[in-house]
Structure formats: structure tokens, C-alpha cells
Amino acid sequence: MSRPTRNPVSDLRGVARLAVEATVGVAGIVEEMQGPTLGIAGLVHRGIRGTARAVGAGVDALLAPLAPLLGEARTHPGMEAALSTLNGVVGDHLADTGNPLAIPMRLRRDGVPLDLRSQDLSAAIPGATGKILVLVHGSCMNDLLWRRNGHDHGEALARDTGCTAVYLHYDSGRHVSTNGRELAALLEQLVAAWPVRVRELSLLAHSMGGLLVRSACHQAGQEGLRWPRHLRRIAFLGTPHHGAPAERVGNWVNRALAAAPFARPLARLGRIRSAGVTDLRHGSLLDEDWEGKDRFGRGPDRRKPVPLPLGVKCLAVAASASKGPVARPRGDGLVPVESALGRHRDPAMTLALPRAGRVVVHGAGHLDLLDNPEVYAHLREWMGSGRRRPAAGSEEPP
């Protein structure tokens, strides 16, 4: 089996750039907390910033010629996980500054990127079928993390339903709408280059990945792309359709720091949060949800409603820490049940999911959705024909 590769010299250049930016940023915060700095103090702060930039430029110039000479080297799951977390937190900054640590959006299998040309896909996936399943991971994660405790939903569904699974790998720190637009274009390429006739396309998404999928479907419709004609199914596992409390708490803390004169410089640390993270506050899907607005500012939920695509069999699975059915089940530690099921007090924002398409799995956390047997049983039925009666206690409360 092939393993993913990266250029270690390029990664080292990326780390060096981040170190310089962090040093300059911290020096600025310290200077701001001390108030106006003149004379020797001001000279020291300017010297720290200037020295850091000069050293960084020297290291980058030294390493740049070595990158093409050393080429790619095999990476490992720990490195992939660390890069995914970094991209989730500051991925928009990495992408905007051209940092080599930024993750480009690709479709992969076993961590190896797929070349979206028919002959290359045919060679990379010799047993490709006409049923494509694309899996989309969540924030701070990557495609390799679909495998948990020896189980991979994509691999199991391929075995049990005859589909062919491919996995999206992307920078989760960028805006959902930006990633959604790129995903829509990537799916257009995939369907056009698929080595056999495409009979159906299904999308399986975890957490933030579900927001990307909804954004991609909406933007593909606006652009008149062809792949939605093949789309038959979408499954959402723990997707924060209407936001996640953790980001709202982070936003509140950031505003509180900014309101206190002595702590105001520390509020700059809160503004490091990536565009992808702040999109999770309400579940923003479109450019107009954030363009021209301060994404760190205070304000109500003013998202434009985005319905589910018509004629597509949709499934929303919520995890609940509650051990059994209760009137108001707890969320999974990150996403509330109501948000994961697409329900909202404003009827215009509520997703039109049939009762059979809304499932609550009890006694489970957010990551448990990746390997929970009950979740897989629902996914197996979602991909297959006919309908399975939900297991006792797994249906959503009325």
C-alpha cells in the first residue's frame, strides 16, 4: 500500500515562517500591553521584530534551493494529524501567505492524491464501480482519520454495497464557502474523468464536512455544474448545521478581553482563530454570510437559508452523551442535537429532513460517529435499497 508523502524541506520552511510570525506577533502584543514605548524600550521591541524577520528571511533563502533536490519523503499519521490541526486553527493564514504547510484540496485514497484524469484514475482504482462515494472530513482532521479503532465507514460501505470510496483532504481553516466552491469544481472533474459510467454519486460528511457539502451543492447549482445530476445521497454525521456553542463561547471571551483596557492586547490572540473556525459559530455556508462583516464582531445570525438539494436522500445523524431517549438530549460535546438534526426555531432555517432521515445515537461522543456500529448500520441502509427499522432508542425524540 502506498503512503502519503511530503517534502520535509518545504515543511521546515513553513515552520520557520510561522516561528518568525509568532515572534513578531508576540513582541507586538507585549509592546502594546506596556503602552507607548519610546527610547530604549521601543528600540528593543523594534530590534526583536527586525531580527526575527532577518533571521527568517535568511533561513528561507538557505532552504529554498534544497527543497527540489531532496524531493518527497514518506510521512506518517502523526505528522498528518498535526498538520491537519494546524490548518484547522490557522489554515486561512497559511493559504493567504503561501506557507508550504497549507493543505491543498485534493481527493485521495490511502492518503495518496488522485490525479483526476481518466487513465490515471483507472490505474489508481482498477476496480472502480459506477457508484462513487466521497467522504468529507471535519475541522482539524484529515482523510486518514476516517479509520478509527480499525473501522472505516468508506471501506466498509465499499465492501458491503459495491461503491467506490474516495476521500477529500482539505485545509479546514479556510472559509466554508471557499472550500465549498473548490469542492464543487473538484467533483465536476471527478465525475467527468471517472473511468466507468457514473451511475450515482453519494456524499458522506462528518462535522464541518457537512457544511462544505451543502455549500458545494448550492454553488454547483448556481454555476450550472453537471455532477449534481448524479447526486443521490448525502449523509451528515454530527454536522453543526446551525453552529457550535464552543465557537460562540470563544467569540464572547474575545469580546470580553477587547472591552477591558488592560487585557485588550490579548484579544489579538483570539483573532488568530481561522475563518473556518468562525464559520462554525452559526454554520455559515456562503460568501455573503461573511463578506463585508467583522467575523470576530458581535452580531445575530444573519445567514441566508440554504435548503437541502431536491431529490436527494439525506440522512442526519446526531450523537448524544445522554444514555437513552430523553425529552432534551445532550449534544455530543461539540455539536448540539438540534443543530446536528438541522432543526431551528426559524422554520425558514430548518432543514427539510423526513423523520426517518433524522437519527440520534445515544451514549456517544462526536468522534464516536466515525466507528459506532449503530451509525454504520444506518449508513449501510442509507446506501442500500429499502429501509431498515431504526434500533430501539436510536430514533430522534418527537
Give CA–CA dist 284/306, Å, rounded.
Answer: 10
| Burial classification of residue 296, based on how many CB atoms lie within 10 Å of its CB (0-12 exposed, 13-18 middle, 19 or more buried) | middle
> 215 and 350 share a domain?
yes
Q: What is the pLDDT of residue 224?
A: 97
Q: What is the pLDDT of residue 299?
A: 73
Domain end (from 22, 56, 74): 74
> 265 and 217 share a domain?
yes
Query: Which residue shows C-alpha cell 484540496?
Result: 105
> 157 and 134 share a domain?
yes
> 107 and 138 share a domain?
yes
pTM reported for the whole predicted model: 0.81
> 293 and 201 share a domain?
yes
> 65 and 170 share a domain?
no
95-107 burial code (b ≥16 CB/10 A, e <16): beeebbbbbebbb
Indicate the number of domains in the chain: 2
pLDDT of residue 42 exceeding 70 = no
Tell me which residue of 206, 21, 189, 13 sits closest to 102, measured CA to CA. Answer: 13
> 174 and 51 share a domain?
no
For residue 238, give the CATH number of its domain: 3.40.50.1820
> 64 and 95 share a domain?
no
> 368 and 262 share a domain?
yes
The string of pLDDT tens digits covering residues 379-390 is 999 998 433 333
> 67 and 84 share a domain?
no
* Domain encompassing residue 32: 5-74
Q: What is the pLDDT of residue 166?
A: 98
Q: What is the pLDDT of residue 12?
A: 67
- pLDDT category of residue 264 using cuts at 50, 70 and 90: very low
pLDDT of residue 77 exceeding 50 = yes
- pLDDT category of residue 58 using cuts at 50, 70 and 90: low
Decide: helix, strand or coil at residue 211.
helix
Q: What is the pLDDT of residue 386?
A: 33
> 319 and 175 share a domain?
yes
> 164 and 237 share a domain?
yes
Domain end (from 47, 74, 101): 74
For residue 361, give Cα distances in angstroms to 33, 104, 280: 48, 33, 22
- pLDDT category of residue 392 using cuts at 50, 70 and 90: very low
Domain end (from 48, 74, 100): 74
pLDDT of residue 364 exceeding 50 = yes
For residue 94, give Cα distances in angstroms to 59, 107, 274, 368: 18, 20, 10, 30
Tell me which residue of 309, 318, 243 sits closest to 281, measured CA to CA. Answer: 243
pLDDT of residue 233 exceeding 50 = yes
